[in-house]
Structure 1
Amino acid sequence: MADSVRLDKWLWAARFFKTRGLARAAIDGGHVHINGHRAKPSKAVEAGMTLSVSKGQSVFDLVVNAVSAQRRGAPEAQLLYTETEDSQAKRKEQALRRAAQSAGIMAPSSRPSKKDRREIHRFQRQEEP
């Protein structure tokens, strides 16, 4: 293993993103912070750094344990970092909140018919003005 590696390559090797391109796009979009500061894709990652990675609706607060430029299996990738207990608790709480919000929502049994669609459009036009 190397002493340091590019941030986009490390995120790809740690399996946070499926491709280095997606990792780079997330970094450029401001979804990755190193030690509280916005990062660049070429920033060198070293052991002991703290990362904050926003992916979807989840935020991962990580401490880098090891550096690797090669993508390996998931069990090996999880050894590259440690997620803080605070971060794990927040993600679990958010997941429970999302599950509670969607608990009462039922999917329709079938697609709307042409008549149903016309009624939906009429209803939407009435609410716009």
Structure 2
Amino acid sequence: MGVEGAGSVRVDSWVWSVRLSRTRSAAGDACRGGHVRVNGARAKPAQAVRVGDEVRVRADGRERVVIVKRLITKRVGAPVAVECYEDKSPPPPPREMTAPIGIRDRGTGRPTKRERRSIEKLFGRPPTDPQ
């Protein structure tokens, strides 16, 4: 199962193994981009992680804070992965707090050509000639 008895494991490998990242290369990119912190300091992909370390991973607009309980090097199923860390993350924001993207009421937005003509007529502006 890839369980390490004692010692340390690379942070990118551990983050991928416990399913905090979809791929190992994405975990490495997150480390290089400064989105992974170990005990408060920015982590490089090859930095060692030991039992008891605090790992913070920022992904998908949310920060996950976990305490390492067990070291593993191979990716495992979700039930086993949850046993390898203690989750101290703040709860995610409620769904109604996040704004829906690309949805607007019918009739809002840019006026149609007909509506523009009636607006120009209302304000007494001369109609624009498309010459």
TM above 0.5, yes or no, is yes
Residue in 2 that maps onto 1:122 = none
Q: Distance in 1 between matches of 2:105 and 2:18?
A: 36
- Superposed displacement of residue 102, structure 1: 2.5
Q: Deviations over 1:81-104 (max 9, x none)?
A: 1111xx233x2x364521xx329x
Could you state the TM-score of these two structures normalised by the residue count of structure 1?
Answer: 0.71
- The sequence identity of aligned pairs, in percent, is 33
- Give the secondary structure class of the aligned counterpart of 2:67: strand
Aligned residues: CA RMSD: 2.4
**Ranges of 4+ aligned residues in structure 1 off by more than 2 Å:** 93-96, 105-108
- Does the alignment pair 1:83 with 2:81? no
- Superposed displacement of residue 57, structure 1: 0.5
- Superposed displacement of residue 38, structure 1: 0.4
Distance of aligned partners of 1:18 and 1:46 in 2 relative to their CA distance in 1, 3 Å threshold? same
More helix by share: 1
Q: Which amino acid aligns with 1:102?
A: P
- Superposed displacement of residue 18, structure 1: 2.0
Q: Deviations over 1:66-94 (max 9, x none)?
A: 1000111111011111111xx233x2x36
- Does the alignment pair 1:69 with 2:73? yes
- Superposed displacement of residue 14, structure 1: 0.5
Q: Which amino acid aligns with 2:76?
A: R
Structure 2: segments with no counterpart, 5+ residues: 114-131
Structure 1: segments with no counterpart, 5+ residues: 109-115, 120-129
- Give the secondary structure class of the aligned counterpart of 1:9: helix
- Give the secondary structure class of the aligned counterpart of 1:25: helix
Q: Which amino acid aligns with 1:78?
A: V
- Superposed displacement of residue 106, structure 1: 4.9
Could you state the TM-score of these two structures normalised by the residue count of structure 2?
Answer: 0.70
Q: Select the structure of larger CA radius of gyration.
A: 2
